Amino acid sequence: MADLLVVGRLHTMDASRPRAQAALVREGKFARVGTREECEREAGSDVKFVELGEGCAVPGLADAHGHPLLHGRNLAEVRLSGAASEQDCVERVARYAQTAPAGQWIRGNGWDQNLWPGRDFPDAAMLSAATPGHPAALMRVDAHALWCNELGLQLAGITAATPDPPGGRILRRADAAPSGVLLDNAMALVRRAIPPPMAREAEETLLRSLQALTAVGITSVHDASAGPEILDAYRRLAERDALPLRVYAMIDGQRAWEQVEEQLRFWRKAPPLSRLTVRAVKLFADGALGSRGAALFEPYEDDSGNTGLWLMDPRELSDRIARVAAAGFQPCVHCIGDRACATTLEAFVAVPRDLRPRAEHLQVLRPRDVPLLRKSRAIASMQPTHAVSDGVWAEARLGRGTERQRGAYAWRQALEAGAPLAFGSDFPVESMDPRLGLRAAVVRKTAAGAVWMPEQRLTREEALRAFTAGAAYAEFAEGRRGLIREGFDADLTVFARDVMEVHVDELPGLAIAATVIAGSVEYAGS
C-alpha cells in the first residue's frame, strides 16, 4: 500500500498531543503524527494526500453496544418506528402482507406504545383481522416485547394454559387468554416457531448492517450477544477478509451452559482473525424500562406491584459471571433497573480486574450504589441516545425526584465515580448514528425539546473520548486504537467540518467525509 498522508485538523484524543496537523499512515498504522513538514519528510515517494480542508479527523469512532444481525434483519422487515397508534402499525403490516406469500411469517420492528394515545400495549385482535393468512411477530423498539397475531400464537402453541416462563411474561386478557404481547423470555416461545436463516442469508444480513455502520463513521462495533450461527457467519466473513469494519463479538451467554461452554472452548483455541475478536460473553440480568421489565427495588411508579423481571435468576447470574471469568473471558451484563445494576455490580466485585467486567446500559443506578460501581471496577457501557428517547416517559416509570430517577442514564455520575465510559447506541433500538449520540451526551435534549437532567451532561471532548478511547479500552484495544498516535492502527473518522467547533445542534447533520480502517478508506462520503 502507498503511504497515506492526512493533512488538516486532527483531534488525536492523545493527552500528550491533543492536536496535530498531519498523520502519516504506512502499512495500516500511524507512522508519524505531528506537523505537515515532519510527516512529509518521512513519507515515501509514492504517497497519497488527503486534505481535510474545513473538516477534521478523529480516532475511528466505535459503537460499544449494538446488534448488527437484528438491525440487518430489520432493514428487510416492516418498519414500525414512529407509528402513532396501534392502528397505524396494523395498516403498515397489512400493506406488507399483500406482497408476501401465503403462510410466510410477517416480521416487523420498532413499535412503541409509549407514543400512542393511552400508552397501552397492543392486542392480537386487530392485527389478526388484518393478516388472516400470515403468522405475524412484531418486535417492540427495545427488543424486549413481541406482539403477535392469533396465527403466530397458535403456531407457537401458546394458549390460556401456557404458563409464564421464568424471566418472561405472557400478557393476558380478563379471561386469561393471551393478548398477543410477550415480554422478555416469553418471546422465545414464538422465536422457536420461526424458521432460522440460512448461512448465506445470515452473512448477507450482517453485511447490510456493517456497511451501514461505516457510512456513519463507525470503525468498530461491539456485537452485544451473538449466537453460534452468527459467530460462524462472522468467522466466515473474516476468513474471506470481507468484514468492512472491526467486530468485537460477545458470545450469547443466555443459552444452556453446555452450549456456552462449547463456544468458550472453541474461541479460546481459535486462531486470530483479521477484524474479528471474540473474548467476551453477554448475559442478561433483567428486561427493559419501556416494557416495565427492568428489575427495580421498589414497584414502578405507574404500575403498582410490578418490580420488573429477572431474565436470569440472580444466583445463576452470579454463578455464570464467575464461570465466564474463570474461563478467562470478559463478562458483559445487561442491567437496566436499579436492582439489576446493584446485583450485577456486586457479582463483578469478585471478577479479576484484568478481565474488565462491563455493565451494559447501567441505566438506573441509585446514588447510594455508586460506591459499589467503584468497588466493582466495572466499565460503564452506556448509550446516550437512550436518555433523550426515554426522557419523555422515564419519570413516569421511576417517579419524579426519587433517588432512582436521579441516578437514571447518569453518565456524569459514572464518570465521576472513576468508571471507564464506553459509548454506543444499542442499535436498532436507537439510531446507530454516533453524531446523534454525541449531541445527546452533550445536551440531553428530548424529542419534546426539554433538557432532561442537565447535571448529567458531558463536555464534547468527554463524549468523544467515550466513543473512541473508552470503547477501545472496553475491548482491550487501548494499546492499539482509540487515539491518533504513532504505532496505533490507522482508524479515522473524517468529518466535513470540525466536530469540536460546530454548534451542537449541527452535529446530527455534520457530513461524514470518510471512514478509514487500517489506512483503507471503507467509506467515502459523496
The string of DSSP codes covering 114-179 is GGSGGG----HHHHHHH-TTS-EEEEETTSSEEEE-HHHHHHTT--TTPPPPTTEEEEE-TTS-EE
Share above pLDDT 90 across residues of the chain, in percent, rounded to a whole number:
95
Which among 28, 79, 451 is positioned nearest to 274, based on CA atoms?
28
Q: Is residue 110 part of a domain?
A: yes
Same domain, 90 and 141: yes
Per-residue pLDDT tens for 16-55?
999 999 999 999 999 999 999 999 999 988 899 999 999 9
Per-residue pLDDT tens for 148-196?
999 999 999 999 999 999 999 999 999 999 999 999 999 999 999 998 8
Same domain, 186 and 82: yes
Same domain, 40 and 96: no
CATH of the domain at 49: 2.30.40.10
How far apart, in whole angstroms, are the C-alpha atoms of residue 485 and residue 419?
24
Domain boundary among 152, 171, 191: 191
User: Binning pLDDT at 50, 70 and 90, where does residue 198 land?
Assistant: confident
Residue 178 domain boundaries: 75-191
Q: How many CA atoms lie within 13 A of 224 on its CB side?
A: 28
| Single-letter amino acid code for the residue at 290 | G
Q: Is residue 310 part of a domain?
A: no
Give the cell for residue 215. Answer: 457510512
Q: Is residue 233 part of a domain?
A: no
Element (H, E) at 59: strand 47-59
- Nearest-5° Cα angle at 83, 81 to 84: 145
Q: By the 8 A CB rule, do 499 and 514 touch?
A: no
Same domain, 94 and 140: yes
CATH of the domain at 178: 3.10.310.70
How far apart, in whole angstroms, are the C-alpha atoms of residue 405 and residue 413?
12
Q: How many CA atoms lie within 13 A of 175 on its CB side?
A: 2
How far apart, in whole angstroms, are the C-alpha atoms of residue 350 and residue 116?
44
The predicted structure's pLDDT at residue 447: 83
The predicted structure's pLDDT at residue 504: 96
pTM listed for this prediction = 0.91
The predicted structure's pLDDT at residue 2: 87
Same domain, 128 and 167: yes
User: Binning pLDDT at 50, 70 and 90, where does residue 334 land?
Assistant: very high
Same domain, 132 and 29: no
Domain boundary among 191, 206, 232: 191
The predicted structure's pLDDT at residue 196: 81
How far apart, in whole angstroms, are the C-alpha atoms of residue 111 and residue 82?
7
How far apart, in whole angstroms, are the C-alpha atoms of residue 515 and residue 464?
16
Q: Is residue 160 part of a domain?
A: yes
In total, how many domains does the chain have?
A: 2
The predicted structure's pLDDT at residue 172: 96
Average pLDDT over every residue of 286-315 = 97
Q: By the 8 A CB rule, do 410 and 374 touch?
A: no
Between 104 and 526, where is the model more confident? 104
The predicted structure's pLDDT at residue 475: 98
Same domain, 79 and 40: no
Question: Strand 512-517 relative to strand 520-524: parallel, antiparallel, unpaired?
Answer: antiparallel
Per-residue pLDDT tens for 254-284?
999 999 999 999 999 999 999 999 999 999 9
Same domain, 95 and 181: yes
Q: Is residue 224 part of a domain?
A: no
Whether the predicted pLDDT of 197 surpasses 80: no
Give the cell for residue 134. Answer: 400470515
Which among 500, 497, 501, 502 is positioned nearest to 513, based on CA atoms?
497
Task: For residue 521, list its beta bridge partners.
Answer: 516
Report the interhelical angle of 228-239 vs 199-215 (nearest 10°). Answer: 70
Distances (CA, A) of 414 to 23, 55, 58, 378: 33, 32, 24, 10
Q: Is residue 253 part of a domain?
A: no
Other C-beta atoms lying within 10 Å of the C-beta of residue 446: 18
The predicted structure's pLDDT at residue 355: 98
Q: Where are the alpha helices (DSSP H) in 392-454?
A: 394-398, 403-406, 411-416, 434-443
Q: Is residue 369 part of a domain?
A: no
Grid look-up 472452548 returns 265
Share above pLDDT 70 across residues of the chain, in percent, rounded to a whole number:
100
Grid look-up 494526500 returns 49
How far apart, in whole angstroms, are the C-alpha atoms of residue 196 and residue 203?
13
The string of DSSP codes covering 245-294 is SEEEEEEETTS-HHHHHHHHHHHHHSPPBTTEEEEEEEEE-B--TTTT-S
User: Binning pLDDT at 50, 70 and 90, where does residue 307 land?
Assistant: very high
Same domain, 35 and 100: no
What is the rounded average pLDDT for all residues in the chain? 96
Q: Peptide bond before 428: cis, by omega within 30 degrees of 0?
A: yes
Same domain, 33 and 121: no
For 408, which DSSP code? B
How far apart, in whole angstroms, are the C-alpha atoms of residue 30 and residue 132?
59
Q: Is residue 389 part of a domain?
A: no
Which among 70, 147, 135, 138 is positioned nearest to 105, based on CA atoms?
135
The predicted structure's pLDDT at residue 45: 84
The predicted structure's pLDDT at residue 44: 84
User: Binning pLDDT at 50, 70 and 90, where does residue 465 land?
Assistant: very high
The predicted structure's pLDDT at residue 155: 96
Average pLDDT over every residue of 462-481 = 98
Per-residue pLDDT tens for 228-247?
999 999 999 999 999 999 99
The predicted structure's pLDDT at residue 133: 94
The predicted structure's pLDDT at residue 127: 97
Q: By the 8 A CB rule, do 147 and 129 touch?
A: no
Whether the predicted pLDDT of 395 surpasses 90: yes
Domain boundary among 191, 225, 259: 191
Whether the predicted pLDDT of 526 surpasses 80: no
Same domain, 35 and 112: no
Same domain, 50 and 83: no
